[in-house]
Structure formats: C-alpha cells, structure tokens
C-alpha cells in the first residue's frame, strides 16, 4: 500500500539515524529532499541510491498536489529535511495536510530533533515548555518578543549564528538581563557547546567569539524566574 513516510535525519552526527529509518529509505520508491545535495551526501554515506525530488520552502506550495498524486497512483515516498524531523521549522506540513485530506496513509518515524537535547541538557524545567521555532525577522518580531518574555514556561527558539547576538540582546531588553538561558550550538557534533547562564552572561560569552553552527535558545519562563511564595523560609 502506498504511503508517505516522514523520516528524521541526523542533526549533525551521522550515526544518529535509526535502523528503521535506513530500511525505509532503502525500500521507498523515491525521496523528497529539502536539499538534494545535502540528502545525497547522507544517502551516499548509507550506501543508498534512490531517485530524489526537491521539496523545500520555496516550492512546496507548487508541488504538494503533484506529489500527493504520485502517492495516490501507487508510489511510496519518504520526506526528509536537511537535518532533523520534517515539518518542525522545516517543509512538510502542507504535504502532510494534503495527504490526510485525501486519505493517504502518513507515517512518521521517531528520530533526531534539535530542540529535544537542547531542552533536556539546558538545566531548565522541561515538564512543560513552549516551542516557538524561528522568530519573525521583521514584521511582528517585537510583538513576538514581548509574548516570549511573558511565557510562564521554558521557551525554545531556533536561530541562525548570524542573528544570535541580536536576538539575545533583544531578549535581554524585554526579559531583563538576569533571565536564565541556555544556548546550544553544533549539537551532536565534535564542537558541541551548551552555554548556560543569565542572558547578560551568555551575551558576554558569545560577544568574544566567532559564532558558527545551528543554534537552539532555551529561555527560562516567568514561572521559574519568579520566587516561589509558598517555599519554606
């Protein structure tokens, strides 16, 4: 029976792919890739040869129906992104929605997602959290920053290395420099770094070095930032 598989791929370390994911990539008729060059490198590493179709943020609106038609016609396809789980701050949602609408079976494999290790190793409360992904670059950015400042729970943001300092400085303006934060970069890679401290301390840390790699910001929520009135003296 034809279906769409959502297959997580490593966020850095190529060993972080499941045996099941490798089997599915070998069995499907074709692979939908955010960047065929990046996915091609992974497939060569895994000794897998499959036809690939570009599926990325710039073309997903145009090709969703065509891809769904292919699955309805009998093909089984796997959707992968450059790193991590499809549809989490990456293309995928529109295709999944179209497949669900048509009654096409969709199956998502468990696997690598950058925000999970960043959250768990941050030292901040993880029983409740808010995932925001990337902040708006321009329109609505200040409104979103204000909202993030008032979230009661640990909040997770994605950021590029080029905008990290600007975002941390803006967060300090709306949250105060004493709000706790953990910035993770190069997760699972040889130069992985988790910078923990107050916003002011982490800004100082990254102001002194060249910033590289994909970034996850884990910010303390207001519920944790405020003293507990019910705590014992």
Report the CATH number that the domain containing residue 155 is assigned in CATH: 3.30.950.10
Give the count of domains, the chain: 2
Q: Per the domain annotation, does 230 fall within a domain?
A: no
What pLDDT is stored for residue 233 in this prediction? Answer: 37
Output the six-digit token pair for 99.
């497949």
Same domain, 167 and 217: yes
Q: Which of 88, 82, 79 is nearest to 35 (CA)?
A: 82
User: 173-177 contacts: CB < 8 A, separation 24 or more?
Assistant: 174/145, 174/146, 174/148, 174/149, 175/148, 175/149, 175/199, 175/219, 175/225, 177/203
Number of neighbouring beta carbons within 10 Å of residue 110: 10
Give the separation between CA 17 and CA 8, rounded to whole angstroms.
8
Q: What is the pLDDT along the chain (233 residues), one digit of tens a residue?
A: 799 999 999 999 999 999 999 999 999 999 999 999 999 999 999 999 999 999 998 888 899 999 999 999 999 999 999 999 999 988 899 999 999 999 999 999 999 999 999 999 999 999 999 999 999 999 999 999 999 999 999 999 999 999 999 999 999 999 999 999 999 999 999 999 999 999 999 999 999 999 999 999 999 999 877 655 444 43
Can you give the pLDDT at residue 231? 42
So what's the pLDDT on residue 45?
Answer: 96
Verify that 131 and 93 share a domain, yes or no.
no
Residues 35, 131: one domain? no
Q: What pLDDT score does 223 carry?
A: 80
218 lies in the same domain as 121 = yes
- This prediction has a pTM of 0.90
């Amino acid at each position: 029976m034809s279906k769409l598989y959502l297959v997580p791929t490593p966020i850095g370390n190529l060993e972080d792919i499941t045996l099941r994911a490798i089997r599915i990539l070998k069995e499907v008729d074709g692979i939908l890739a955010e960047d065929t060059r990046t996915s091609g490198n992974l497939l060569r590493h895994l000794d897998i040869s499959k036809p690939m179709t570009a599926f990325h943020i710039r073309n997903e609106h145009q090709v969703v129906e065509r891809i769904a038609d292919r699955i309805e016609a009998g093909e089984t396809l796997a959707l992968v992104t450059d790193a991590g789980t499809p549809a989490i701050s990456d293309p995928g949602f529109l295709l999944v929605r179209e497949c669900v609408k048509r009654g096409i079976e969709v199956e998502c494999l468990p696997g690598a997602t950058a925000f999970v290790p960043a959250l768990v190793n941050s030292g901040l409360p993880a029983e409740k959290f808010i995932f925001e992904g990337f902040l708006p670059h321009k329109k609505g950015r200040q409104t979103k920053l204000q909202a993030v400042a008032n979230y009661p729970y640990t909040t997770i943001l994605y950021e590029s290395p080029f905008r990290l300092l600007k975002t941390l400085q803006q967060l300090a303006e709306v949250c105060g420099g004493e709000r706790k934060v953990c910035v993770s970069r190069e997760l699972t890679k040889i130069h992985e770094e988790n910078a923990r401290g107050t916003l002011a301390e982490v800004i100082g840390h990254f102001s002194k070095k060249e910033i590289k790699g994909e970034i996850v910001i884990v910010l303390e929520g207001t519920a944790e930032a405020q003293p507990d009135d019910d705590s014992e003296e």
